[in-house]
Amino acid sequence: MKITVFAATGGIGRHLVDQAVAAGHEVTAVVRRPERLADRPVRVVGADLAADDPTALRTAVAGADAVLSGLGPRSAADFGIAARGTAKIVEAMTRSGVRRIVVVSAAPVGVVPSPGRPHPPKRDPGDGPLMRFLMGPAIRRVLRRHYADLALMEEMLRDSGLDWTVVRPPRLTDKPVTGGYRTAYGRNIRGGLTVSRADVAHLMLHLLDRPESIGQTVGVAN
């Protein structure tokens, strides 16, 4: 399969690249600093999703069977990058005739409002009392701008007409890939507080072969 990976040197992106290569996929990696992937057997396209470079993005996705995105802010200065960058990815895919995309969001986003969904559900059906009444509200207050960005990103995908899947992990760790995580469509994982970046990448790759995941949000946790 020909796969294009955005944010390919990020916490999840680097696992996507390595696992896709190991599985025998033909990988195009999109990064701001191509030299950081000089040692990987992949096609590298230099592009900055914070800038306006549509030609590079169309070059990156042209001919791909699927797009995987680990895009998200690395610091406060990157606020808004998930929605802005995903909008540019969607445009490049639409112009290039590429339909399949799997992206990373976050577990709390299901109850975060966006312009097209100003009144989301008050609680996620997978959240237990601890997450629903204590941890969830506290996390959303602290990271409200980050989650607002992700909620807008998800809205753009819902309206895109593409074959999208959104993966919503809880707190990410740097533990190794296990393949032993739990998943659920349309809800978070009861009692699932963490998952490794490597396992999120593993799930994203496997969702490419699951047509039932198209148009779905997928909760994942250990």
Q: Looking up tokens 């997450």, which residue turns up?
A: 131
Instruction: Name residue 43's amino acid.
Output: R
Residue 197's CB is within 10 A of a number of other CB atoms, namely 23
Q: Which pLDDT does position 210 carry in this prediction? A: 97
Q: What is the DSSP annotation of 69-136?
A: E----SSGGGTTHHHHHHHHHHHHHHHHT--EEEEE--GGGGG--BTTBSS--SS-TT--HHIIIIIH
Q: Residue 190 has which token pair?
A: 């009861």
Q: Which pLDDT does position 208 carry in this prediction? A: 97
**Cα separation, 47 vs 6, whole angstroms:** 9
Q: CB of 222 within 8 A of CB of 192? A: yes
CATH topology of domain 2-221: Rossmann fold (3.40.50)
Q: Which pLDDT does position 42 carry in this prediction? A: 97
- CA dihedral (87, 205, 218, 176) in degrees, to 10, reads -110
Q: Which pLDDT does position 76 carry in this prediction? A: 57
In the chain (222 residues long), the average pLDDT of successive 10-residue segments reads 96 97 97 91 91 87 97 70 95 97 96 92 81 62 79 97 98 96 97 96 97 98 94
Longest dimension (CA), the chain: 48
